[in-house]
Amino acid sequence: MAAARQGFHSRQWLVLVTLMVASFLGRLDGTIVNLALPSIIKDFGITVTQASWISTAYIIANAIFVPVFGKLGDLIGRKPLYIFGIVGFVFSSMLAGLSFNLPSMVVFRILQAITVSIDYPIALSIIAFTFEDRAQRAQAMGLWSAIFAAAAIFGPLLGGPLIDNFGWRSVFYINVPLGFLGTFMALEFIEEPVKKIKGLKNFDVLGSVLLGISLGVLVLVLDQGQSWGWGSWKSILSYLVSSLSMLSFIVLENRVAEPIVDLKFFKIPTFSAAILTSFISFMGMIGGIFLIPLFAQNYLGYSVTKSGLLFIPMALAIGFSAQIGARLSAKIEPRFLTAAGMLVASLAMMLFTSIDIRWGAWDIIWRLVLMSAGLGIGLAPLTNAATSTVPISEVGIASSVLALARNISGAFGIAIFATILSNSVSSNILDLQKYSVINTTNPNIIQEVYLLIAAKANVMAFADVFHASMILLFVGAISALFVKESKQEFIHSRSSQSSAALIEG
């Protein structure tokens, strides 16, 4: 009996390692391709605006298909769908490496996004099924979450040398050997957790289409709204299409037998609070830190590679703190742990409001480490709380809703904070000019003064964005207090961990 139990536990962790390999593959692609964009622009002879569609199309397709594959995993089984995702991603990566112009690249990036969108909901679902003990499940989710940090580290480390020595196509070809490894491990170690396959008989095709239209148009307007103008006819039309599609989707989901998103999940206070907290915190985090490379390159004179290296300590910190959070979640209620982490992240953003062009790399790094440590502590408990409150048979779609909230929140954060930055720059220039006195008629000096005013206005605008990010993360800390697990669940988690420790001892 003891040998069987030990073998089962060993297999659990082999399954986790397998999931981490495949997840690393998808996350690495997301970080490494952005480094290749300047080379792709030059090779294809396109503009920066045109090249933005390489990323925009990927984000839209990913947002659309994450909930679809979350539901499909519940209906047809997780293992075959997961393997299909890995193989499909490898094949589409090869095609992307063979791209010959912008349209072909966009099409192949969409295929990449569709196949990689299988990973997040299915991986979390397999973890939930494989790790029955809640304490071990939280630890497993913490380890799996660290893959996001690892990808952020290896993205710039691998991307720079690959592009410099082998060209931009190599960032797609690197997925092939990793994909073969992930496929072999998935075939060998993952067991199908769904014992009763429902099939596609009642699959909600219309709901998938409506949700896809709503999310796709929403992400599009968030990505392009600033260049279109938030009040332009294109933006207004997008708001209407997205809203009407979502309303139609909600009405439909209450009537179908197998809804893409079971709306009754949102009647569970813990689940709703976890989704809201994830949305707010990720919006605050991503909306804030996306400015760091811009500041480092434009005002500190850093290269793209050097500015990317600033995030390596942050990635290490979030991976390490996620493990601490997973272990503490067996002793401290997740809501308190997550709230404390969000408060630390909010404090870090407050410290960023003193941003200055005299800063060095260390001034940025230690603040990023503090912020990521706070977020990391609450990451695993928050994910575990969201997926543990729904029936185990529907954890795939619950995971996809969580993934969707985080993806969409990032798009919201960047759109909102980029607008705040732009508006703040204009306002600051007017204020600085209003209170500035130039006692000279020398045109060279006057021009230099105006350049200094513009630089000062931009730095002040960065501080305004960090203020907004700080407020959002603080609100996230408040909302985390509503992520309440029942006392019975919490006590069971602690006792399960204690029993496991006794057995291992």
Band (pLDDT 50/70/90 cuts) for residue 347 is: very high
Band (pLDDT 50/70/90 cuts) for residue 437 is: low
Using the predicted structure, report yes or no on whether residue 464 has a pLDDT greater than 80.
yes
Distance CA 193, CA 100 (A): 41
pLDDT at 253: 83
Q: Which stretch of 16-20, 280-284, 362-366, 412-416 has the lowest confidence by average pLDDT?
A: 412-416
The hierarchical CATH code for the domain 265-505 is 1.20.1250.20
Taking residues 212-225, report their average pLDDT.
Answer: 85
What share of the chain has pLDDT > 70, as a percent?
A: 88
**Sequence spans of domains, the chain:** 1-138+147-202, 204-257, 265-505
* Model pLDDT for residues 168-185, shown as the tens digit of each residue: 899 899 889 888 898 999
Distance CA 77, CA 130 (A): 14
pLDDT at 458: 80
In a 13 Å sphere around the CA of 347, the CA atoms on its Cβ side amount to: 12
Using the predicted structure, report yes or no on whether residue 91 has a pLDDT greater than 90.
yes
Which single residue is written with the structure tokens 């679902």? 125
R_g of the chain, CA atoms, integer Å: 24
pLDDT at 499: 32
Using the predicted structure, report yes or no on whether residue 104 has a pLDDT greater than 80.
yes
Q: Which stretch of 238-242, 253-257, 468-472 has the lowest confidence by average pLDDT?
A: 253-257
Provide the token pair at 456.
Answer: 């000062």
Please provide the average confidence, as pLDDT, over all residues in the chain. 80
- Dihedral sign for Cα atoms in the order 123, 124, 126, 130: positive
pLDDT at 500: 34
Return the higher-pLDDT residue of 84 and 417.
84
Collapse the DSSP code of 80 into the 3-class scheme (helix H, G, I; strand E, B; otherwise coil) and give the result. helix
Return the higher-pLDDT residue of 495 and 42.
42
Residues 1-138+147-202: name the CATH superfamily: MFS general substrate transporter like domains (1.20.1250.20)
Closest Cα partner for 396 from 493, 279, 267, 262? 262
* Model pLDDT for residues 288-325, shown as the tens digit of each residue: 777 787 788 778 888 767 777 787 888 788 878 877 88
Distance CA 113, CA 413 (A): 21
pLDDT at 105: 93
Taking residues 55-75, report their average pLDDT.
Answer: 81
* Model pLDDT for residues 29-40, shown as the tens digit of each residue: 877 887 788 888
Please determine whether the domains at 1-138+147-202 and 265-505 fall in the same fold group of CATH.
Answer: yes
Provide the token pair at 132.
Answer: 């029955």
Using the predicted structure, report yes or no on whether residue 445 has a pLDDT greater than 60.
yes
Closest Cα partner for 349 from 417, 301, 272, 400? 417
Closest Cα partner for 423 from 223, 230, 222, 224? 230
Using the predicted structure, report yes or no on whether residue 5 has a pLDDT greater than 60.
no
DSSP letters for 430-466? HHHHHT-------HHHHHHHHHHHHHHHHHHHHHHHH
C-beta of residue 408 within 8 angstroms of C-beta of residue 280: no
Taking residues 330-349, report their average pLDDT.
Answer: 88
Band (pLDDT 50/70/90 cuts) for residue 488 is: very low
pLDDT at 111: 93
Distance CA 402, CA 250 (A): 17
